[in-house]
Structure 1
Amino acid sequence: MRLVHLLRAVTVEFHLRGSEFAARNGLHPTDLRALIRLLDADRAGDTVTPGRLGEALNLNSAGTTALLDRLERPGLVRRVRDERDRRRVLLVVEQKAVELGWSFFGPLIGGLVDAAGDFSPDELDVVQRYLTAALHAAAPAEPPTGPGPRP
């Protein structure tokens, strides 16, 4: 249970930092979660449509549209037509969002990278295995059905 409690403490600290970032930049907490999802998808080479983002955040289409409108106004995200299928809209994170994130989270990320330097590659492999297992344990087994937030 020590690991579970420590993981919870880290999660709470990350949540507090995220809330501070959102408040400083006039973002809703869901806006930050959306930016993280979009940045992770971009890093993985995946494209994201508004529908996929809404599903990932458990938002209906009206909520997703409002979210995207909020992110487009300050120039953090833009909607573009898919060149292969002009009916499809893709979401792109603007460089401004990346720079804004690094200006706030850069020191935190740097501290985490520095902390990892105190561990051997084998130890880091174990940490990665545990965090991956923890993520799978925390994620829902099936996507929620129907409108409304998950319990």
Structure 2
Amino acid sequence: MSAEMPGPPDAAEQPPLVRLLQEFSLEANRYVDSAGGRNDMHRTDLNALAVIMQHTARNQIVTPGVLRKELHLSSPATTALIDRLHHSGHVVRERLGTDRRQVQLRMTPKAYRDGGAMFLPLARHMGAAMAQFTPEELEIATRFMTSMIDATVKAGQEAAQQTAPAPPAPQ
């Protein structure tokens, strides 16, 4: 007796905005893969630089532990990532505090230049697309996207707390 595999969900069941958000996420990931690949950078490298940039903008210190936690990496994977970014000239390690044991990660001017060059085409096209909307429409879109990000973060936290389902028992 074979279990029936569920089919694809009925497109009518999913709101069009959800489908568009999924498509946007997919296209954004494709762009990151393409831009990073042309510059010999992994998606994780670019995600790490984004995390460092966000924390820096908030005047927060980024340590290897922060990077490990935010990117859900093991300690060895985090070390390899930081080594790659350091060797490529995108990140420097600086010792902090009086005992100088804590390491802070900082992006270099080269990282900002390379990132700007990689994402300039995307920024140009997005800027042109945004120019088609009024400030009021962009305000609504901003509120919507902020809510979608918050919802995604909450869903991710929820998923991280769930245990994996047990495999079906052999018959």
Normalised by the size of structure 1, how large is the TM-score?
Answer: 0.87
Aligned amino acid, residue 101 of structure 1: G
Does 2:100 correspond to 1:89? no
Give 1:89 shift: 0.8
Aligned to 1:51: 65
Are 1:28 and 2:42 an aligned pair? yes
Deviation at 1:113, TM superposition (A): 2.1
Q: For the aligned residues, what is the CA RMSD?
A: 1.8
Say if 2:75 is the partner of 1:71.
no
Aligned-residue offset at 1:30 = 1.0
Structure 1, residues 107-149: CA drift from partner, whole Å, max 9, x if none?
A: 211221232222222211111111111111111236947xxxx
> Does residue 108 of the first structure (1) align with residue 122 of the second (2)?
yes
Letter of the 1:19 counterpart: D
Corresponding residue for residue 141 of structure 1? 157
2:27 maps to 13
Say if 1:137 and 1:17 are closer, same or farther in 2 by CA, change over 3 A: same
Q: Are the structure 2 counterparts of residues 142 and 53 from structure 1 closer, same or farther at C-alpha, using a change threshold of 3 Å?
A: farther
Specify whether residues 41 and 3 from structure 1 end up closer, same or farther in structure 2 by C-alpha distance, changes over 3 A only: same
User: Any idea what SS the aligned residue of 1:141 has?
Assistant: helix
In structure 2, the residue matched to 1:149 is: none
Aligned length: 145
Q: Return the index of the structure with the highest Cα Rg.
A: 2
Deviation at 1:85, TM superposition (A): 5.6
**Identity over aligned residues, as a percent?**
36
Structure 1 residues 4, 25: closer, same or farther in 2, change over 3 A? same
- Aligned-partner Cα distance in 2 for 1:143–1:62: 24
